[in-house]
Amino acid sequence: MISKKAHLREVYVWQLPVRIFHWVNAFAITILCITGYIIGDPPAIMHGTAPEFNYWFGWVRLTHFIAAFIFIINFLVRIYWFFAGNTFSRWPNYIPLTKKQWRGIFETTKVDVLLLSPKPVYDIGHNSLAAFTYFGLFLIMIVQSVTGLAMFYVDSDSILAPFFGKLLIIMGGFYPVRDIHHILMWAFILFAIVHIYLVFYHDYIERNGIASSIIGGWKFIDEHLVKEYEDEQRTKYKIVLKKEKEKLLKKEIEIKEKSRQALR
């Protein structure tokens, strides 16, 4: 747990597009799970009691479709932000490519899952385990989007209908795709339960504003950790700058060489 005497610095971690994605995603998934469960197992209801209830299931399906397209568009914007966002929201954070990330996954697993260590692992953005879990969630979102679109378009007059019809055949037919779509709904529900628990758990043990950061974007980080991060970023910047200078120098030499050959 962060000591009360520790010197903390306010760091702007989550940019506005990331925060919007998070809350739109949470809202869309909630609506999709509720309506999806009803579509998968429609409750018995007496028809004809009132005209406004005669097409209740149609409204459920329409709500599901609208929420689905919001979900997909929101996800496409987030994919763009994997490349356009700040350091904490870019794609390399979500795929463990370095020894440091794998060490972070192991250390955080000891704290969160195995409960072998009471000492939390501090990170400015997502910890490595959470980031890798989100990567898995993003893959599930892709599969859920594809299976949902396949079932939606296969009975439509859209120009996309033949494509998704072939895709359904490749994936085994309508009912296997429906089962995949339904099972992944429960994966979202399970993820949401674990995610909410861990956010408040880490907010308590780390005391750095994790829960509120997804609203305002700011976290309170130990200044030693911030300094280490800033030094790391400076080193990366110097390496990039050095490479760019080498490229420019190489280009100048090539231009001069071409000029000499032209004068001969």
pLDDT, tens digit, 9 for 90 and up, residues 202-228: 888 777 788 888 898 888 887 777 777
pLDDT for residue 27: 96
Q: Tokens 């750095």 appear where?
A: 208
Looking at domain 8-263, does it have CATH number 1.25.40.10?
no
Q: State how far the alpha carbon of 16 is from the alpha carbons of 13, 88, 260, in Å.
A: 10, 13, 53
- Which candidate, 3, 13, 5, places its Cα nearest to that of 226? 13
Lowest mean pLDDT across 21-25, 81-85, 100-104: 100-104
pLDDT for residue 76: 96
Lowest mean pLDDT across 111-120, 128-137, 180-189: 111-120
Other CB atoms within 10 Å distance of the CB of residue 29: 20
pLDDT band at residue 80 under the 50/70/90 scheme: very high
Q: Which residues of 182-217 are buried (b: 16+ CB within 10 A; e: fewer)?
A: eebbeebeebeeeeeebeeebeebbbbbbeebbeee
Separation between Cα atoms, residue 143 and residue 224, nearest integer Å: 41
Please give the average per-residue pLDDT across 161-166, as a whole number. Answer: 84
Other CB atoms within 10 Å distance of the CB of residue 62: 12
Give the up-direction half-sphere exposure of residue 14: CA atoms within 13 A in the CB hemisphere: 21
- Which candidate, 74, 93, 71, 91, places its Cα nearest to that of 82? 91
Q: Which residues contact 103 (CB under 8 A, 6 or more apart)?
A: 128
pLDDT for residue 117: 64
Asked if 127 and 121 count as a contact pair (C-beta separation under 8 A), the reply is yes
Q: How much is the CA Rg of the chain, to the nearest whole Å? A: 25
All structural domains of the chain with their residue ranges? 8-263
pLDDT band at residue 33 under the 50/70/90 scheme: very high
Each residue of 142-160: pLDDT tens digit? 999 999 999 888 877 788 8
Please give the average per-residue pLDDT across 45-54, as a whole number. Answer: 54
